[in-house]
Each structure stands twice: as structure tokens, then as C-alpha cells.
Structure 1
Amino acid sequence: MTKTTSSHFKPTIAPLFWGHPKAYTNNVLLILCIPIGIQKQLLHTHNKKKEMAAGKLTSFLVGLLVGVTISVTLLIIGSPHLLSTIVLYNNSVREPNSQPTVNNNKGLPVTQPRTLARDSFLIDRSLKEDSTDTPQNKYQGDAPIKVSDIPNFVSQELDLRRTVFVGVLTSWSVPSSTQQMGVMKTWGAEIEDGTMTFYAGMEESIEEDESVPVQRVTGTTMGQKMYSALRHMCHVHLDKFKFFLLTVDNTYVNVNNLTLLLDGLQSSEVIYMGSSKRGPADPTPVQYCELGPGVVLSRKAMQGLCTHVTSCAKPSANQDPAYSLALCLQMTIATNCTTSGESKRLFHKLWVSEDLDGDLDQKKFVTSSVTLHPVGRLETMFRLHQSYLSRRILDKLQNHKDLADRIHHLNRLIATTGPHGDVKLLLGDQENSKSSDVVPWQLIYEDSEEEDFANVLRSLDDVVQLSVEALRAEAIIEPKLKALFQRYHPVTGIEYRLEYEESEDDSAASHIVDVQKPYGNLFTVSATVGHKERVNFIVPVLENSQHLEEFLQMFESSCLTVSGANEVALILVNFGVTKQGNRLHQVLSPYEKKYADFSFKVINVKSESFSYARGIEIGLQAASDPDSLLCVLDTHAIISPDFMNKCRLNTQRGRQAYFPIPYQQFDLSATKAFSLAEEDIAPGMGFWWEKNFDTFCVYKSDVQNVEDLQLSGKNLSGKLTVRKSFSVFRVPEQGLLLPQRDRHCSSKFMTFDQTDICLQKQKEILTMQRHFSNLTER
């Protein structure tokens, strides 16, 4: 009975007493007394508890696995060569007397450089295994610098972001300060701050300032100076850079090509690269990199060198410093300089048959090399850098065009496939319209005795020669260059404007030549010969203005006393004439008597309120000769005697109008005299007021159909700009000053709109003054 009952209920109670048959037998009667429904409920509760326990265990294991995975990933990212370093460390512990590692380039390349094949310049740079003969065991040198393969922390490894440090050794062939200036004004300006240092001897004469880092080192020979520089690099820069370039100051470095080359290399590999040369006959042949074209060392190579740099700095007196460095690297890390032809092409040493004259862009060794050595003349250094900048600008323009094309096609795709259709392109596509953008000119040469100007002029011999030939075609034999302007136009190329003066017996004629370099060979755009034609000044005035006498005194000193009677004329448009008399004629009378041969003309406007724009319109109508050159001037302006000449040169009939940018002063007491001095235009005294169009020069024939000037010359500038084959020339004019004077904007002769314009100008000046004060904390 008992067995039968037990077998009948075994499937029900077995899960509750699994593995305990004795307990099961002793409790059979108790189970028989439990109803079937309660048994099922107990069984369900037991299964649920088992599932919860299994779920918790699974979650714990998954979390542990994810945590381990993240930790390992971060560790690998933070230190890319951690595993290899651990292996090397373990091997060094197990085999303390083992030979140094020799990189024989048998493995596959890890990273391909962007510009050339990696194996082409890494091949044959290591020694054969059978010729090393444990050089480290034979070398017993001191180790003053402790070097570790990797930093102690991942954060230090992440700080190794800078690509290359450049150490420049000063040479003895020319004055160091001259070569230093040539480097800093050319390729040195392309180097980031803190990534280049000049290494000069204690007795060398070299200019030191904050912008040029100079490190004084011990030693009287180039070899001693080189090892002192390497010692400084090891102490200060080893853990901050991936690569190191050591060169001399008469070498030109193409910074862009250098960056592209090093970006394709691994700093964790032993790299000793440059223009290779076979050393003297030794038991073991040594290929060394010449110091002139530059030597590139990876951080891994520097680590081996730094541990013995002090002991290596004891070569024989007649030993080449570059060869001594190669022997040291062979002894410490068992490697030779690269011997491939590609490396010699990159670190180019100029042959006797190779010159740097003519068009540098057509010379392949100039465009493809990383370094060029030697560059003896300073003007050659400037020409090399100008060629480099031209190619970089052309590359950036092409990249800009490619990106613009991609955006355009993407916009079209979004417009045709998106839910909004072609109503509005999502990326804000705009039509490419030819706007009248005015590219500012930069003065790069002026007739003076400054050495910088002279150096710049020597670097532009081809431009000057082409302009002189253009003038000779106009029968102008011996012109004198007065000024040279340059600007970079994003489409047409580099443009030059040269101003010449031809001295004759009676007068001096002025000439201007425009030369354009479309990032290639030069050709002449135009050669305009200018003469001292009459400049007709149009000046709207207010009769009761307190500045009227000051303006006439300034006009006398800047125009009347330095010009002939047929070279200048004055048209005064007089507003605010009263019944009591004409004050303007009384003020002008002494000048009319003193300068009887000059043309003075007064136009009285009795029934209208003062309007500067209306005065311009009346003055233009008063000029009867359609070929006359007109210059509109504000009574508050101060011009230099050379301003009229600038007006003649920069204005071309039917082609160009001149709207100079004036210099607006801040201080009310800054300019007390009636003539313009050099100290009046200085940093902190004011600002170049680009929004001011009140002064301009134009030919009467170019504005005959222009009506309704409205507010100022700005409206005229806009109307002239949209004309076909007509341009508006703007440039900061050193000979045009607007002193900060107390302008009365509440005259009874001014309308409400004119008063508002006057107040807006005053507000703009005060805003710029406040902005300048905030910048300088004055």
C-alpha cells in the first residue's frame, strides 16, 4: 500500500525532495494529506525562485564581462604599443645580456603614408644581424637621462599629440641674425608656437625677442653645438613630440610636405631619415644623414640616443658632426640612415647645376621636396616661401571648390528626395553671384631706407622687371619706384600695384602699373601713365560753421602751396546763406587775393537746408568739363600733400573710381595742427572707418547719369559698382584723416533726417572708441 501510494505521487513531490529519498519516504503520509492544488502552488513558487536566482547570476556575469571589455579597450587606446612594451620588458628580464633589437623591415607596414610608399625610404636603414655583434655590450657610456618606452600614465601618452619639433642650428657662414630673420619671416612663420627653437653658441650675435625662441648652448664647433642641442631636446621635448627635425638656418623647410610625410609614419618605430651619404672606410660601413638638408629622428630613435648623448659628444676634432651622430645611433640602436633615392629627393641637397632662379613652380625639386639646402641668399628664401604660399592658396581654393560642389549636389539630393520638396534647401544653398567684393590692398614696399622693405623688393624682382618693361614701352626710361601694393584675390590670383615717379626738369609725372600673377607666370594687365591733371575739389559747407577757417588753412598748406595753378581747383557749395551778408566770401577773400591764378568757385544755396549729398550733386553739376577729375571732400577732413597724387593714380576714366578709407581719430585734442603728421595715425589713436564713403575721386564723365544720391557717397559707390567693366577701389589712405571734433548735429539749417544721420555717425565713432577701450583696458 505504501509503495503503491509512493509511486503514484512521485511525479508530484519529487521536485520538492530531490536527492533525499529517505526524507521522501518518511514524509509520504504528510504529502498525501496536502491537497493537489496546494502542491501545484508550492511547485510554482519553487520554480519562480530558481528563475530569479539564475537571472541575477546572468546579470552579474554580463556586467563583469562588459566592465572588463571597456577597461581593456581604454587601456589599448591610451597606449597603442603597451603590449609590445610588456613583451620587450619580459624579454629583457629573462635575457639581460641579449642583443639590442634590430629593425630589419621584414614585417608588413603598419601604416601607409599619404604621399609616398613607406618602404621606399625605410628600406636598408637597419644593420645586418651578423654585423651588430652586440654593440650595446661593448658600449660602456654614462646615462644621465632616464628614458622609458612609454609614459607612466595614459594621460601622458595622450599628450603626445604634436607631430614634430624643429631644432635649428645657427651657422657661421653668414651673420646669424640675418639668417634667423629669413627663417622667421618665411617657413618659420608656418611652425606652431613652442615647436621650434634656434640653438646658438654663447658668443654668437643673434637677435633675441619673445617671438623667436633662442637657446644658448655650449661649444665652439658645430659638433659640440649639435650635441648640446640634442641634450636640450632630450631633457625638455622628448615626451611632447613624435618626431624631431634637426637642421641649420640656411635650409628651407616645406612645412606642409613635412607634415604629410610624418603623418604616415609611426613614432614608435626606429626612424633615422635624411639625405644619406656613405661614411669613410670603417670596419663596418655606416650610412649617415647629412646635417644640412636635415635629419629626422622618431621618438623611439631619440629614446635610444638620449641615454648616451653625453658620451657620444666626444668625437675627434676632424670628424663630421653628422657622421658622429650616425656612429652614436649605430652604437645605441643599431640603425643606419635611409639609403633610398626617395629619401634623397625629399631631403634635397642642391647640386651645382640646380639653380633657384626663374619660375620656381616649374621646378619639380622645389615643389616635391621637404627641405632644400643650401639657400644662401635671403631674397631666395623669400622667393621660395612666396612660391610655397601660392601653391597652398591654390590647393585651398581647389578644396573649397570641391566642398562647395559636394554641398550643392547634397542640397539638390535633399531637395528632391526630402518631404519639403524644393521649397527651401535644408543646408541653406545660395546662388553664386558675382558680388562687388573689394579685396583690400597691403603695402609691402615704400621708398625708404628700412631694410625689411629692401629685402621684400629683392624677392619681387620678376614683378618689378615686368613693370619697368611696361613703362619703357610707353617711352618712360628711368622711373623711380615709390610704393608697391599687393593683394590676394581668391579668383584672379596675386595682384600687384606699383607706383612710379619720373623726375623731369619742370615737374614730376606719376605712373602706375598693374601686374597680375594668376598663381603661375606673370603677365601685364595694364600700364597707366598719369600726369598732374587738375583735381577739382567739391566741398559742401555750412556758412556759419566754426570749422570753415580751419578747413581753408588746411587746404592751403596741403594743396595751394605745393601745387601749380593748373593742378587744383576748389568748388564750395555754400548752405545757410543769410540776408545779413555772405560770410564765406569774407573768409575766402584773402586766399583769392593771395592765389589769384587758382580757380575758386562758390555756389550759394539759399532756399535749402544743409545736405552733404545735395551738395555733392550740385557740385557735380557745376563741373562743366566732362573729362574733369573730381574729388569730394568733407570740411572736417585733413589731407596730406600727396593725397592729390593718390587721387590721380587710383582713378581711371571709364574704369575705376577711388573711395579711400579714412582714419578716424578718438581724442579731441589729438590733432591740433592743420597739417597731417605721421604720428597722427598710430595704434590706439583711432580706427580705419570702412563704412565712411564721404570722400571719393571720380571723373565727371562717369557720374553724368547718376541722380538721387540720397544720403552720402555710399549710394554713389553702390551705383558705380554694378556697372559692367567698372570697379570701385578702396584702400586705407594714410593721407586722409578725420579728427574727432565737436560736430554740431542740432543746427537750424539741417533737416530732421540730416540731423539723424549726423547723430548716427557720432554714435558709431563713440561705439568704436568704447570697443577699443575695452580691448586695451584704458
Structure 2
Amino acid sequence: MLRRISLRRVPFMVGLFLGVIASLLLVSPLSCDVDADVAIRPIINLQTRDTEANKQYSTVIRPRFYSTELEIKEKLLVISLSDRENFDDFGRAFNHTLASHASKLVFYVCSDSASNSSASRANVVFVHSECNRLLYHAMLHIETRQLAKEYDFVLIARASTFLRGDNLMSLVNHMSISQDIYMGTPLATDPRICDLEYGILFSESVLFRILPNLQKCRGDADFLDDDDALTCLLKYNPISCQTRVGNSQYLSVDADSRLDPRSFSDSQRPVISVAPLNYHNNFYQLNHKLDQQTYKKVQRQLVGISSNIAEINDRCSLPDLWPRGLRKFFQPKKRFDVIRTTYFNMTHLFWNTDNKVIEALNEISSSDIESIVRACEKHLQEKVTLVNGWLTVDPVIGATYLIDVSLNGNLKRLKVVRPLSLSELTPMPYVTESTRISIVVVVHGGEIDRALAFLQNYSKLMQKGDNSMLLLVFAYRDKENEEDGFDRVRKLAETYSKQFLKKAARIAVLKIQCPEHIPEFGLIDIVASKLSPEGIMLIVQPNVLLTENFLNRVRLNTIRNEQTFLPVPFTLYKNLAQTVGQSITKDSGFFDINNVENLSIFVGDYLRIRRNLPLIPLATVSADLDREAYKDCIYGIAEVLLATKELHVMRAAEPELRIEYMHRVCENVTSNSRQSAHCKRTNKITVGSKKYLASLVAS
């Protein structure tokens, strides 16, 4: 049995052996002509790779408004063509009837002279041309200035054309911006062309297809008549004049025919334009009649809505609550939860608390009651006089007023509710973290070491590409003895400037020769006069630990024409060095509420406030610091900001603003008495914490 199995494997073994022999004979061995002693040098292809290590890519600049990034455009631009004689009357009437509906109105006026006293108006363009050629010049101006690129639709009409604004806006709002629109009333002679007299509506796609070819129609002529310009539109626009697009219809009425104002309120066939009107008063008369119809229509809709609400309330068996939409009044569970009701009049409150029977109205309560009276007058459309009232502050609903008022000699009782859920729109200023900051550091002769440390710290921000500029102000008193120290700072600043030349951050040096008394106003005046009014000026001490987070807080808390930032810094004790990002503790330092030497303000706001101080002239050069006004100046910039009250001063503890210990010669710092006293006090209390000093005494 075993022999049979071995015989069966013989063909397999023979085939395997022959296959190995054939592969060795038929396949040539791999060989290399290079000598064995020659070393192989690999070649690295660097042409397709970036040779710059750690390449810093530029930050993508986002647009200011989201509509710009999403390419959301305004809806309608209306262009009116008029002559100089009738522009004042017809232009005013055209603007009165349409300005509240269209996104923008632009008037083109034909005139004998291009310069005119009324040309200062932003939306009026005077064209030195005859009136029958105004359409060509208007469209050429639109193409040159690219006025229509921010609008979905453009309507061109004459000033004698009455346009019903709400019907026109309803028309464009129901049309897609992706459609090609060339809409109006066809000419009787050529139905393919729209009549300019009744207005022509263009979509953006059609208009930008026509405008680049406008010069081709002119040929050798200097101008085109309105009829020739309309014919040119047809040549480069494959769409004939449209009166209907989908369910939207551009309906016009001839002013010479009998006008029926009811046709303007017909939802099925709304009239868009009426032309031509011979008198500008016809604009106001027709608009007045149509507004009356709209008012009656809205009143009927309100009555219908009110009846529907009442019907729904009857079906749902809801409790009789007023105002509609608010929750139920607070229901006390115990006698201690009963809400107090306060009796009041225009001068006093009665039983407002258990301990006071009567008290005079304060400013807030008086303003609150006056606003309630004004709301009643607005509702009744009559002048009322408050007799008395009862106030209940409900924690669920809000403030409820039950007041008695005198109306035309009669006593009426009104109920007023100020709900807690009433939403209000609060205007917010525009702030951004991309605003450029000018960091101002005043360096005195004894602060050279701290200035060098400040520069080393600022170099880290330069490496990150922060959008800021460091201005080192060298306050010279004895130039011969202090020159060497300031040269060390200047050379280090030049080194960092060359090292980070391609970064956004910059370093500049300003030398100021100071008198014996160093006025704080004078130094900052000279600095502010050399900065851009659009930027933020941040004044800091040389021993500040500057961080990127603090600069961003400065950008967000400093608001143009509104607010200046005066942070409360965290001052470190002596011999306690901290690094950026380290947490703060009570044993490492304290928030110095007396420190007002670090502040930020827009340069333009500072210069405006300084010009409002006539007793202290604005200094621009070092020689101005010797004036008598600066010698008697015993207060600083922070005091002026608080005294003038032109800007809101934001004063709060700032953990990101940390100041290291530095012994200062207070007599050489400033002539400000408050700042000098604070300097002496800081030198004492920054020696160490009470716990640390007590341990030294005990040891």
C-alpha cells in the first residue's frame, strides 16, 4: 500500500524539479554594470517639495458681513431718468412714493452743464447730454461704476412714471434670481422691445450681458438715442419683452385713460406702473388713494384675525387671560406668598415696605411711571393725566399696573402689563480681534533692564505674527548719562525688527527730551499725534507681562466713540517670577485697584478729548513740555477720562494683565501727584505678602 502511494507522487516530484530547472535557465539573473567599489548615492528630488521649514501660511481674511461671503445681494435698484427743469418736483414725488420700498434710488438728470449745485447729493448724477440720449449715458455710467453688481434686479423708468412700491416689491420677491428677466410693457411698434415710459425691469444676468456690448452699438457715433439704445438691448439680448413670468405679471396703465384705484389692490392683477403723469401732484394724490385702500385692507385683515383668535379661544375653553400669549398669574400657596400691591401717584409711593408708609419716587421709579403714561397716551391717542395707580410685581408675568387716568375730564381705569418675556433689540458695537494695537511703553533712565525684558517678551508675540506695533518712548532727562542705557534697548529692538521683518508686528523708537517735571499728558500727546486715529493706543508699564490673550481682550473691550478700557492689573510680589499661563494665587500677588497706568483708548477718541481741554494745549514736540500749563498739571489721563464722561470707562479686574515687581524712583516717573503717591505705596506693598513678611519677622 505504501509503495503505491510513493509511485503516485513520482510524476509530481519530477514536474516540480523540471520547473525549477527551466526557471533558472530561461530567466536571466539581475546584474549591474557598476563596479562593486563604487558607492551608490541616492538622489532626493526636492523640486516638488517646499524647502522652507515650518512655513507660515497667511491667514484667510474673512469679510466683515456674512452677506458678502455668501454673495447675498440687495433686491432692487431703481433708476429714474429726468430733466433739469422738472427734477425738483418730479424727483421729490418719485422719491416720496418709492424710497421706502426699493433698496436704492438713483436719479440721472440731463443738464446743459455737468457741474451743478445739487450734484452733491449722493444718489443724483447730472449728465451733460440731451434728454433723449439719457438712457445710453445712464447705462454707461452703471457699467463704469458697477452700480448694479450688488442688486438682483434693476428697474429703469422715467421720472414721470408712477410706480406702486408694494406691488413692485411683491413682483420681484416672487421671481427667482436665476431667471433671465427683461420685463415691462411692449412697444406698439415693436412688441419685442419694452417701453421705457412704463419702466423696464432687468435681472442681473440680462443686464450684465447687455452692458459690455453697449459700446458696439454706438459705432462711430458719439451717443445713442433712447430708441437706438432700446434696439441695441434687443440685439444682444435674446429675450423679447416679457409681460408675464410664471404667475407674476407686469401690469401698466396709461395715465390718459380712466384710472380705477381698485385695480391697484387686486391681488390677481396688481398694477405696477402708471405713465405718463403730467403733474407731480398726481403722484401724491394717487399714492394717497392707494394708501387709503391699503389701510382699509389691513383693518379688514386685523378684524378677521381677531375673530379667528376669539373663535379658537371659545373652542379651547381657555381662561380669560390678558395680554394674550402670557402665562397664568402667580398663584400664592400660602399667605406668606401673597404679592404686595403698592399704591402710587406721580410723586410718591405708599406702603412700599412694611417699615415705610410713604416715600418719594426715585429717578428710576419716576421714569418707569412716565413711560407707562406715555404708553397709555399712545394707545388712546389722547393726552391723559395720571390720578393714581396700583403696582404689582408678578414673578411669572412681570409688572402689572392698574391706573386711573383723567381723559377729557372723565376718570378712566386702564390695565398695563410690562411682561418679563418682552424682547428688546440692544445695539451692539462692532469689535474685532483683527484691530491693530499700538503698544506705548514709556522707558525712563532707571528702567533699562525692565525694558530689555519687555522686548524679549514681545518678541514671542512678533514670532506669532500678532497685529500690533510696539512704540518705545525714551524719556531723556540727562542725555549724556542715559544715552548708553537707551542704546542697549534700541539695538535689541533693531535686532528683533530685522529678525521678524516679514511678520505683521513692528517695533519703533521715539526719543523725547523731558524737563525736570515729566507731564503724563505731554508724553502721550506727542505719541498720539504720530499714530493713526483709526488704531488703538495701549499704554502699559515696562514691567508688564504681555500676552496674546490680554491684547485680544483690549481689542474687544475698547470701542470707538463709546468705551475705553482701564483694567485692574495683578501685581506680583518681589522675588516671585511668573511665567505666562501660570495660575495666580493670593500668595503670589494682588489686584492693585490703585493702578491706573495701564489703559487703552482709540487714538481718535483721545485726541478729541484732549482738544476739549483748552487750558492744557496739545503738545506735538518736546519743546512744548516746558509750558506752564504742564507744570501745574497734577492729574493724569485716567482722571480726565472719568471727569469728562465722554467715554464709558470699563474698570474691572484683569487676570491676564500681570505686572512684575520693579522698584521705581517715583520722583523721576511723573509730575502727577496721584501717580507719584501710588508709586511710593506700590514700592512698599509689593515687597511681599503679609504671610511672607510675618515669617521673616518671626525668623
TM-score when normalising by structure 2: 0.34
